[in-house]
């Protein structure tokens, strides 16, 4: 099936939803943010303490970028930085967020439809969207939030978990959804 045909089918299906699903109803709020001039150590500590992978970066309250765990890993694993004989801990202490963040941040508004936001995340291959209202970060929509919404909006959940035959790599499981009724 061509991409145009798939997009038309998706658009047709999206139009059939009974009501809009605004991002504001599913986003994590308030979003944990970090200042552009903070150190990477502060960012790592904040992410670790809250078990999060994305930090919207603000400068005087305005969104200027996003810092991800991947951005931080790139800093730590960059061979050019290690040629200066600077230990990894020193790299994290000395670098500021502004130097390692992703500048080209994609954001949505709180009124954006969840389906459009999810599609944007999928197309752009990103794991989170800061939610911005009048230039200020009011929340963040992550893959986890989209999955939570999907689970809540799916009329039937998992009804059972049954173990399949054990293979060489260990146990495998099949998540048992109720069998769909076909007319």
pTM of the model: 0.71
The kind and range of the H/E element at 120 are: helix 114-124
* pLDDT of res. 17: 53
* 39 closest CA partner among 75, 82, 85: 75
- State pLDDT tens for residues 129-155: 999 999 899 999 999 999 999 888 876
State which residues of the chain have pLDDT below 70.
1-18, 78-92, 155-183
Phi-psi region of 20 (alpha: psi -120 to 50; beta: other; left: phi over 0): beta
* pLDDT of res. 172: 53
Fold of 3-156: CBS-domain (3.10.580)
* pLDDT of res. 177: 52
* pLDDT of res. 15: 45
Domain positions in the chain: 3-156
């Amino acid at each position: 099936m061509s991409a145009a045909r798939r997009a038309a089918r998706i658009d047709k299906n999206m139009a059939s939803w009974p009501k809009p699903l605004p991002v504001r109803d599913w986003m994590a709020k308030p979003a944990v943010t970090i200042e552009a001039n903070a150190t990477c150590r502060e960012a790592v500590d904040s992410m670790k303490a809250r078990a999060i992978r994305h930090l919207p970066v603000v400068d005087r309250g305005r969104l200027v970028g996003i810092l991800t765990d991947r951005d931080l890993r790139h800093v730590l694993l960059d061979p050019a930085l290690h040629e200066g004989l600077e230990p990894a801990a020193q790299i994290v202490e000395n670098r500021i967020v502004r130097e390692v963040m992703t500048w080209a941040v994609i954001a949505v508004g709180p009124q954006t439809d969840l389906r459009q936001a999810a599609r944007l995340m999928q197309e752009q291959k990103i794991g989170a969207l800061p939610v911005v209202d009048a230039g200020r970060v009011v929340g963040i929509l992550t893959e986890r939030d989209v999955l939570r919404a999907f689970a809540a909006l799916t009329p039937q959940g998992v009804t059972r978990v049954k173990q399949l035959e054990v293979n060489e790599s260990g146990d495998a499981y099949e998540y048992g959804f109720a069998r769909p009724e076909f007319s």
